[in-house]
Amino acid sequence: MNTPHVYKKIELVGSSQKNIEDAVNNAVERAAETIRHIRWVEVVETRCHVEENRIAYWQVTVRLGFTLEEE
Amino acid sequence: MNTPHVYKKIELVGSSQKNIEDAVNNAVERAAETIRHIRWVEVVETRCHVEENRIAYWQVTVRLGFTLEEE
Amino acid sequence: MNTPHVYKKIELVGSSQKNIEDAVNNAVERAAETIRHIRWVEVVETRCHVEENRIAYWQVTVRLGFTLEEE
Amino acid sequence: MNTPHVYKKIELVGSSQKNIEDAVNNAVERAAETIRHIRWVEVVETRCHVEENRIAYWQVTVRLGFTLEEE
Amino acid sequence: MNTPHVYKKIELVGSSQKNIEDAVNNAVERAAETIRHIRWVEVVETRCHVEENRIAYWQVTVRLGFTLEEE
Amino acid sequence: MNTPHVYKKIELVGSSQKNIEDAVNNAVERAAETIRHIRWVEVVETRCHVEENRIAYWQVTVRLGFTLEEE
Amino acid sequence: MNTPHVYKKIELVGSSQKNIEDAVNNAVERAAETIRHIRWVEVVETRCHVEENRIAYWQVTVRLGFTLEEE
Amino acid sequence: MNTPHVYKKIELVGSSQKNIEDAVNNAVERAAETIRHIRWVEVVETRCHVEENRIAYWQVTVRLGFTLEEE
Amino acid sequence: MNTPHVYKKIELVGSSQKNIEDAVNNAVERAAETIRHIRWVEVVETRCHVEENRIAYWQVTVRLGFTLEEE
Amino acid sequence: MNTPHVYKKIELVGSSQKNIEDAVNNAVERAAETIRHIRWVEVVETRCHVEENRIAYWQVTVRLGFTLEEE
Amino acid sequence: MNTPHVYKKIELVGSSQKNIEDAVNNAVERAAETIRHIRWVEVVETRCHVEENRIAYWQVTVRLGFTLEEE
Amino acid sequence: MNTPHVYKKIELVGSSQKNIEDAVNNAVERAAETIRHIRWVEVVETRCHVEENRIAYWQVTVRLGFTLEEE
């Protein structure tokens, strides 16, 4: 490790009608459109949006860490 | 928004032998028997009950938010 | 204090187009319709709902403490 | 466990001139007048009310968990 | 909800000589110059800068959530 | 900055019948009677005292930071 | 309440060979030697010092709130 | 309960390519090789390891509680 | 202090039908069977197990710190 | 202060083989390549990466605050 | 321990151009001018003040505990 | 990753007369005597022990994560 890495963390909220994992995955896929070197995800908060007294979709707040090379 | 909404939040623990999402869903279904306008769910804590060294069921503490119309 | 008091705390979310204090006040007023001896309020969380890039209303989560006499 | 249990949690503040345990006990006794299947108590916060520079009574905030059968 | 939404959250500090609400509003207005679909604001921290022993301005840290369409 | 500054932080609870900002201001004014170089205020907790089911006054816990020159 | 109260909070650690309540009480008694209007105590942290593998004394960190009249 | 139970809690991180529940299960299975009376699991933190901009596996930190009989 | 000490902390849950202090004490006594140099205890969480709507026993989670000499 | 400042906060992870301060410094230096008016840094979390049972480098999560002029 | 000790904790912010340890040390040295029996320091928060995009000095918030003999 | 890894985390307190990094290093070195595959360290808490009003040594609580192969 000659030049030490610097990582940036951003906070996203992914959503899914299926489950928690899929909501996280949707956030990662969306981030991967513009960020190249995502390294890890931290799940911060899990919520559900409810419609007509049933869970309509899962909303999961995540923090993504990625290598900061050129911004 | 002429008359501003007031929401109430209650705390339930749902359980399920299947997974986390099903435990949350069981809590919402049970609440929906007596509450009409559930709006959101916040997942507060996730635990498992273990029997004979295997996960017997998931226990998920949730906070439900619902519109307070007539109590 | 011969018989010691027991208090109950409930969690409400008040909202207002004006400001934080008014959102708290709306929650207290709504609670006062069915609860007789509210003693204190704890402000737990403050959020805004945004519409068309402007703050549409304040949403303040509060915990109300009240004397538990007859439920 | 054919039909999975759902528990509800409520927050009370018990008080006592004697000690912490008695304040918790007073909250449980008061709750037991209207709730049938209390399962556990979580101690959330401990405070004292002071009068004339002496501890007048202990105030302990607790969360009670109970089986939700028919509300 | 065919394609699930992904939201991004950023953290700003708004300031105001008037009050807390105005400091939050200044942060939202500044963000609205470059972000199109702000959905909510979470108030994270409130501080005051003091000059000559008087409150000079309010500094409120907020997290803004907005729909992530094209970055 | 030849000799580095040391700051002290103290915790006060200001109260006001008007609003949160005024309660903070009252705490600062009271502190300014005996402290010379207050630099910042951190809002720690906001509560209301309720009388006859209406908010009687706001109680805001703040931490004040000030330069420690001669105590 | 014409002139609103301002309270100050200080943090003490009381200790006792007997129990938690006695450790809190020792902190209050010590504070009462120099402070006139203590109003409440918040229990912040409870620890034990252990000697020869037995609990030697309880150490309880408390925050005391008192009316600030003349410092 | 003549002789009161003492439980020990340890902290593990389970991982899985499938989902959160499977990661928790792997931690429990691994612990069950050397611990006899696991009673409960608390989910502490959920993260993902990301490779080539896709979630490679889930990493879930759990605390396991087990009856301490002979260590 | 020529060779600096290293301490280890473990987490136990002690229980007692009597009170909080006794539950902590039971955890320490059990730990003292296999650990030689316990130095301090931190009380982390206090709960009660309830049976037939009465407190059956206190469950106190503690962290014990001890000198690490030979493991 | 005619036009009130708005600050933005971003979260970075700096790393260094030397020490904590150097890891923070590396994060600031990297940020300074693209951000002009950094005002403060908050240290959020400190970790070490370990290789062959020795600390290989320090990883420090920081939040940087900077004046938001033109984004 | 015939008469149990009572400790007081105060909160200071030390600063240094060199490093974190030096900032803590400056806070302790300043406190030692007026306090006789400082026993321990808890590091609460670490920040940096940044000038011209470089770390100008470290600001470390600490809590000092000292024996309360005569105030 | 055919067989998913399980990691264990333990909590140690390292101490040093020199600085924070050295205290962490001492904890890692001590752990490395009996643990083979330490992977990471999380710094949890930093304190100083003070003697004669000077910092005598740094005490840093860390959590070590290591691969659990055979216990």
How does pLDDT run across F7-25, given as a tens digit for each residue?
Answer: 999 999 999 999 999 999 9
Give me the residues of chain J with pLDDT under 70, please: 1-3, 70-71
Instruction: Please tell me the distance in Å from G45's CA to the nearest CA on chain I.
Output: 7
Residues D57 and D5 sit within 8 Å (Cβ to Cβ): no
Give the CA distances from residue E25 to residues E18, E21, E55, K19, in Å, rounded to whole numbers and listed in that order. 11, 6, 19, 37
Q: Which of H42, H61, H67, H69 to mutate to test the interface with B (most CBs of B within 10 A)?
A: H42
In a domain, J13, yes or no: yes
Q: Is residue J15 less than 8 Å (CB to CB) from chain A?
A: yes
Residue reference for tokens 């055979």: L70
On chain E, the residues whose CB falls within 8 A of the CB of J10 are: 11
Q: Is residue E13 less than 8 Å (CB to CB) from chain J?
A: yes
In a domain, K51, yes or no: yes
The answer to whether the Cβ–Cβ distance between D49 and G42 falls below 8 Å is: no
CATH value at residue J13: 3.30.1660.10
Quote the CA–CA distance of A36 and K22 in Å, as a whole number: 39
pLDDT value of residue J1: 42
Closest Cβ opposite residue K7 in set G13, G33, G34: G13
Number of domains in chain A: 1
pLDDT range class, residue F4, cuts 50, 70, 90: confident
ipTM of model: 0.95
Do chains C and E have 3 or more beta-carbon pairs under 8 angstroms? yes
Give me the residues of chain C with pLDDT under 50, please: 1-2, 71
Q: How many contacts, defined by CB atoms under 8 Å, are there between B and D? A: 38
In a domain, L1, yes or no: no
- Pick the more confident residue, D34 or G71: D34
Average pLDDT, chain L: 93
Give the CA distances from residue B70 to residues B4, C70, E31, in Å, rounded to whole numbers and listed in that order. 14, 19, 38
The answer to whether the Cβ–Cβ distance between B15 and D9 falls below 8 Å is: no
Q: What is the DSSP letter of J25?
A: H
Strands (E), chain G: 6-16, 38-51, 54-67
pLDDT value of residue I1: 42
Closest Cβ opposite residue L13 in set I1, I6, I10: I6
In a domain, F52, yes or no: yes
pLDDT value of residue B69: 77
> Could you report the per-residue pLDDT of I41-62, keeping only the tens digit for each?
999 999 999 999 999 999 999 9
Residues A42 and H44 sit within 8 Å (Cβ to Cβ): no
In a domain, D57, yes or no: yes
> Could you report the per-residue pLDDT of K33-67, keeping only the tens digit for each?
999 999 999 999 999 999 999 999 999 999 999 99
In the stretch 33-62 of chain H, residues with CB closer than 8 A to chain L read 34, 56-57, 61
3-class SS string, L18-57: CCHHHHHHHHHHHHHCCCCCEEEEEEEEEEEEEECCEEEE
pLDDT value of residue G69: 77
The answer to whether the Cβ–Cβ distance between B6 and C16 falls below 8 Å is: no
Q: Which of F9, F12, F20 to mutate to test the interface with G (most CBs of G within 10 A)?
A: F12
**pLDDT of E1 over the 60 cut:** no
**pLDDT of D31 over the 60 cut:** yes
In a domain, H2, yes or no: no
pLDDT value of residue F21: 98
Share of chain A above pLDDT 90, in %: 90
The answer to whether the Cβ–Cβ distance between L47 and K41 falls below 8 Å is: yes
Quote the CA–CA distance of K63 and K14 in Å, as a whole number: 11
Closest Cβ opposite residue A10 in set E1, E5, E8: E8
- Pick the more confident residue, D70 or H52: H52
Which residues form the domain of A14? 7-67
Q: Which of K11, K58, K61, K63 to mutate to test the interface with F (most CBs of F within 10 A)?
A: K11
On chain D, the residues whose CB falls within 8 A of the CB of B48 are: none
In a domain, E53, yes or no: yes
pLDDT value of residue A41: 98
Instruction: Please tell me the distance in Å from A56's CA to the nearest CA on chain J.
Output: 32
pLDDT value of residue E3: 61
Give the CA distances from residue F9 to residues F34, F40, G10, I63, L58, in Å, rounded to whole numbers and listed in that order. 14, 9, 11, 30, 23
pLDDT value of residue L25: 98
The answer to whether the Cβ–Cβ distance between F40 and E54 falls below 8 Å is: no
Residue F5, number of CB atoms within 10 A of its CB:
17
In a domain, G47, yes or no: yes
